Structure 1
Amino acid sequence: MKGMTNTNDKPSLTRLYARLVVSDGPRAIDFYRTAFGAEEIERYTDPDGKIVHAMLRLGGAVIAVKDADESDPAPDSLGGSPVIMALDVSDADAVAEAMLRGGASVVYPIADQHYGQRGGRLADPFGHLWMISQTIEELTPEEIQKRTTDLFT
């Protein structure tokens, strides 16, 4: 049967990516290119030039971007987004600075965190939230849990 590739005869997952709906697709692609070094892989538009699908590569990951429409509202028209994109980087401060230069805003400033990361959270100009993290300390899950417990007690 087509699509059945594992021994349990269940469909296998072949790809997962976020599809970000934005109020200005071309501007968003420029922002992600400048802030994250994104490479545009493909772009498809409707007859009016609105982006119906654009795929971007960010390091080893991909995201899709599309312009908002009647079916798919952008976060800024909904009062924000409950989804947080987590981005592991080699230099959290530099990525945050690039985002800020492009019009992002700080939700939580970049700082050393109890779980061995240096990071924070920023909102891009299109209402999407990004948790930017850089490993600064190799910790075991037990060490992270102890520090988390200590933080709340």
Structure 2
Amino acid sequence: MTASDVRLWHSMSFDDADAMTTWLAAVGFTEHATYRDEAGRIAHAEWLWPGGGGLMFGDSRGEGGALEGMGPAAAYLVCDDPDSVFDAAVGAGATVQRPMVDQDYGGRGGTVLDPEGNHWSVGSYQPS
């Protein structure tokens, strides 16, 4: 997959985007591009989810930018092995909000909070 194949980009703002890159890599995201400002902060980053889709993010800068003031966000990551992604997220510092369970509507899923309080649901259910 290349960045041009991605049609949906979820956008987030982090208090410490550098620290979050470690967490994002631990759960399976891969870096496509990361741009820094003159102070060395992440101004804009594009990371890809292996099953499709991408995430754009940067450091909260307090300058009223497009990502400023979003507060905690939520994302759903669809994957073939949600248990391993869930375990990797917890191992990288996430807090379990909803443990992994088989869902009545199909698939398996659970939810964690990342180190900055954003909600990440991980599951095998692919909405149609």
TM-score, normalising length: structure 2: 0.82
Shift of 1:19: 1.3
Q: Is the 8 A contact 2:35 2:42 kept in 1?
A: yes
Letter in 2 for 1:30: T
Matched with 2:37 is 46
Structure 1 CA distance, aligned partners of 2:124 and 2:77?
9
Cα deviations across residues 81-114 of structure 1 (Å, max 9, x unaligned)? 2x42111111111111000010001111111111
CA, structure 1 residues 74+28, in 2 after alignment: closer, same or farther (shift >3 Å)? Answer: farther
Partner of 1:64: 56
RMSD over aligned Cα atoms: 2.0
Bigger Rg, structure 1 or 2? 1
What is the CA distance between 1:74 and its match in structure 2? 6.3
Between the aligned partners of 1:107 and 1:97, the Cα distance in structure 2 is 13
Runs (4+) of structure 1 exceeding 3 A deviation are none
User: 1:15 and 1:120 mapped to 2: Cα distance?
Assistant: 25
1:29 partner amino acid:
T
Structure 1 unmatched runs, 5+: 1-13, 76-80, 136-140, 142-153
Alignment length (residue pairs): 117
**TM superposition score normalised by structure 1:** 0.70
Report sequence identity in percent.
28
Higher relative contact order (CA 8 A, sep 6+): 2
2: CA distance, partners of 1:15 / 1:96: 25
